[in-house]
């Protein structure tokens, strides 16, 4: 039985990823930071459905927490097959309004947090000569978004990290890939007006906003044996938004 760790795994995209992996027979370690109620609710729901799931408090900006969640998974399930680096934050601001604290929080969570997770996962996987890491970036990490300079920079960094690490870990039979979501219907869109969301829908060639499940399916594919010859890639799941 395979084991997957999903950071930010209690809400939004992470919740869909955690749920799908559990349904597909994985032991799932649901990493959460502040969303303890959502994490407990999801854990209980999955266990009642007969799936294997457990929660773990993990602040990805803390090295000790990222090593801790890997050690926890290994102690409980014996190994880690997939690590999904999903935890992240978003913010919209003009560059002239972005504070030093805004910048630091964004980079520390989205980029340094991803690095911390990848480092902890790699240390565990290298000894086994097996594993898959899937990082969650954004379409704005590819094309950049106005009024989201710090967010775009952090997600672009995740793509660079993914490509470099894929080269480094390939000799150890560890694959590292990245999913770049488009406009996905999660709480991160709560600040958008109905008019803004409709505009984004119209701008998407497939004429709909994405769902967390759309992303989860892409993550599962990249983690599976069906993607055994795929590494260092960025899979855009954005309905064609940045074509």
Residue burial 60-96, b: 16+ Cβ < 10 Å; e: rest: bbeeebbbbbbebbeeebebbbbbbbbbbbbeeeeee
Catalytic residues: 151
pLDDT tens, position by position, 165-217: 999 999 999 999 999 999 999 887 877 888 989 999 999 999 999 999 999 99
pLDDT, residue 188, reads 78
User: What SS3 class is residue 98?
Assistant: coil
Contact criterion met (CB below 8 Å) for 113 and 36: no
Predicted TM-score (pTM) of the model is 0.96
- Domain-wise residue ranges, the chain: 3-185+212-237
Q: How far apart are CA 2 and CA 132, in angstroms?
A: 11
The CA distance from 174 to 130, in Å, is 5
- 99 contacts 89 by C-beta, under 8 angstroms: no
Instruction: Judge whether residue 147 has pLDDT over 90.
Output: yes
Output the pLDDT for position 189: 81
Q: Which CATH superfamily is domain 3-185+212-237 in?
A: NAD(P)-binding Rossmann-like Domain (3.40.50.720)
Question: What mean pLDDT comes out for the span 219-239?
Answer: 98
| DSSP state for residue 171 in the 8-state scheme | G
Higher pLDDT, 38 or 185: 38
- pLDDT score of 191: 78
Q: How far apart are CA 117 and CA 140, in angstroms?
A: 21
């Amino acid at each position: 039985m395979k084991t997957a760790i999903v950071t930010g795994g209690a809400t939004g995209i992470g919740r869909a990823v955690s749920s799908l992996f559990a349904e597909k027979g994985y032991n799932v370690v649901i990493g959460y930071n502040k969303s303890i109620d959502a994490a407990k609710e999801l854990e209980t729901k999955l266990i009642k459905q007969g799936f294997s799931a457990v929660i773990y408090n993990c602040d990805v900006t803390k090295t000790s927490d990222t090593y801790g969640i890997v050690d926890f998974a290994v102690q409980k399930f014996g190994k880690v097959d997939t690590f999904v680096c999903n935890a992240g934050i978003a913010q919209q601001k003009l560059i002239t309004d972005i504070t030093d604290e805004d910048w630091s929080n964004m980079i520390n969570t989205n980029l340094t947090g991803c690095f911390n997770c990848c480092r902890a996962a790699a240390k565990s996987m290298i000894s086994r000569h097996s594993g898959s890491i899937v990082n969650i970036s954004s379409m704005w990490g590819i094309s950049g978004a106005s009024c989201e300079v710090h967010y775009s920079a952090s997600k672009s960094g995740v793509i660079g990290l993914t490509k470099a690490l894929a080269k480094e870990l390939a000799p150890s039979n560890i694959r590292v890939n990245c999913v770049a979501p488009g406009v996905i219907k999660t709480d991160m869109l709560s600040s958008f007006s109905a008019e803004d969301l409709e505009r984004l829908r119209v701008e998407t060639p497939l004429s709909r906003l994405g769902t967390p499940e759309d992303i989860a399916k892409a993550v599962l594919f990249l983690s599976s044996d069906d993607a055994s010859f795929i590494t260092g890639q960025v899979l855009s799941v954005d309905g064609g938004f940045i074509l």
